Chains A and B, each alone.
Chain A
């Protein structure tokens, strides 16, 4: 079975697993136990991981808040910002192609009385910065734009979007789950306030995530860019309201006993990603380009979904004319990929619909995610297999 679904999840890197294992065994302590060596060892490991994760995104480790994953991080960012700014502001902005863990909290807040603008994207999947500028007002509390899309891999202009938000005093959140460790991402360069991350997309374990939460002092310490001025004026004092109450862990933003082995794994995965990212991105992009080239050579009626020039190196999303995507997926018995498809009353992927794809094209799509363990042979095999199945399904069609 060939795994080409690295946007869904990644295997835990053997080096990551190795550093995690002691924290299931002899170093089992609770990081919140302040009075004995078991707790100190756990706490030290957590703080080391916090630094490793912060280093990957150019942050101060004090700005990293651990969560159970990116869904929780997105919920904390959005609901936490809304609760903190309620009464002061009443409007939120996001994008139609966001992950459901951004869109659903936004819609819940809309039902609670918040104004919500969901921006469309162009056919390439990119946001229109002028439309974003028009959407943000002095009433906007938070703007959330994902760094890299999980289906089409498109990279949004985060720095420009964040600047537009800040011009009106809005906080800026980005779901960077697919971007970090794959493409350069630096919280100070981008001047973002809230960043969601997760371990299992970067060869770490499931169940460990983090939210970067900018404190005003970060910008002041950095002493650069427009953020210093705005922070000095108090406009960027990002103080979220915690959404899980309990022991006051994680600066009071996320109570709950820390998942020490998971966090240790997250930290080590972040460190590996930081040191190997540049070389791996080149290798993975080469494989992706080969896959595209082979598919184009062997398959007529195929189109690429989303911009190719602003895209994650390991992502390819294509649609095929004249076939059912679900049948395609089921026919690919030895290749693990994803599709925007389902059966009968299927609703196509909201991301592909937002690009303007017709329902049949959106349903007949495949998402390839190429990653650390993918080989050239696997890519060649997958391209040939997909082309064969597409031909067989087309020959089977009566229309």
Chain B
């Protein structure tokens, strides 16, 4: 259970934890179930073609927390195109996650993509 400093920093001093109040341009996405041991939720606020705010909540292990935290960090200020191009592989690589932790990165990216789709709907 050894983690990179990138993971440890985000678990011990998490940034962007929370939710965004419902409203125009705000979308929420979730991935995972309690039975699976991980639930990742990501909220984004879209303004035009840019994500101006992102928050996350996680029930799960360190890899899940760090993945969601990093995804929220990347999303904030990203264009829609950049955000949609985000991959789990990039998260795994940036956090130096071991192969068996990769599903945690996929949860975060899946929650983010769902949040972006929901935000686009509300943005229209």
A: residues with CB less than 8 A from B are: 322-324, 326-327, 329-331, 333, 341-346, 360, 363, 392, 395-399
Contacts A344-B37, A345-B100, A398-B30 given; does A326 touch B1 at CB 8 Å? yes
Q: Mark B87-124, 1 if CB is under 8 A from A, else 0.
A: 00000000000001101100000000000000000000
Which residue of B3, B30, B103 contacts A344 across the interface (Cβ within 8 Å)?
Answer: B103
The answer to whether B11 touches A397, judged by C-beta atoms less than 8 angstroms apart, is no
Task: Report the nearest A residue to B58, measured CB to CB.
Answer: A396
Please report the C-alpha to C-alpha distance between residue A396 and residue B68 in the assembled complex, in whole angstroms: 11
CB-defined contacts of B101 to chain A, threshold 8 Å:
343-344
Task: Tell me whether B41 and A398 are in contact (CB under 8 A).
Answer: yes
**Do the beta carbons of A330 and B11 come within 8 Å of each other?**
yes
**Could you tell me if A333 and B59 are in contact, using CB atoms closer than 8 angstroms?**
no
Cross-chain pairs A/B with CB under 8 angstroms, 22 sampled: A323-B59, A326-B1, A326-B61, A326-B62, A327-B64, A330-B7, A330-B8, A330-B11, A330-B62, A331-B11, A333-B8, A343-B62, A343-B63, A343-B64, A343-B101, A343-B104, A344-B37, A344-B38, A396-B57, A397-B59, A398-B57, A399-B59
Interface residues of B (CB under 8 A from A): 1, 3, 7-8, 11-12, 14, 17, 19, 30, 34, 37-41, 57-65, 100-101, 103-104
Is B14 a contact partner of A396 (Cβ separation < 8 A)?
yes
- Whether A399 pairs with B39 at a CB distance below 8 angstroms is yes
Known contacts being A326-B61, A330-B1, A343-B101, is A398 close to B14, with CB within 8 Å?
no
A residues in contact with B64, CB < 8 Å: 324, 327, 343
The prevalent SS among residues of A at the interface is loop
Q: How far is the CA of A345 from the CA of B41 in the complex (A)?
A: 20
Known: A327-B64, A342-B61, A343-B100. 4 other contacts (CB 8 A): A323-B59, A333-B12, A344-B101, A398-B57
How far apart are the CA atoms of A363 and B40 in the complex, in Å? 18
Are B3 and A330 closer than 8 Å at their CB atoms? yes
Tell me the complex Cα distance, A215–B64, Å: 56
Q: A324-B60, A330-B1, A397-B59 are in contact. Are A360 and B34 (CB under 8 A)?
A: yes
| Contact, CB under 8 Å: B59 / A398 | yes
Chain A residue numbers with a CB within 8 Å of B38 are 344
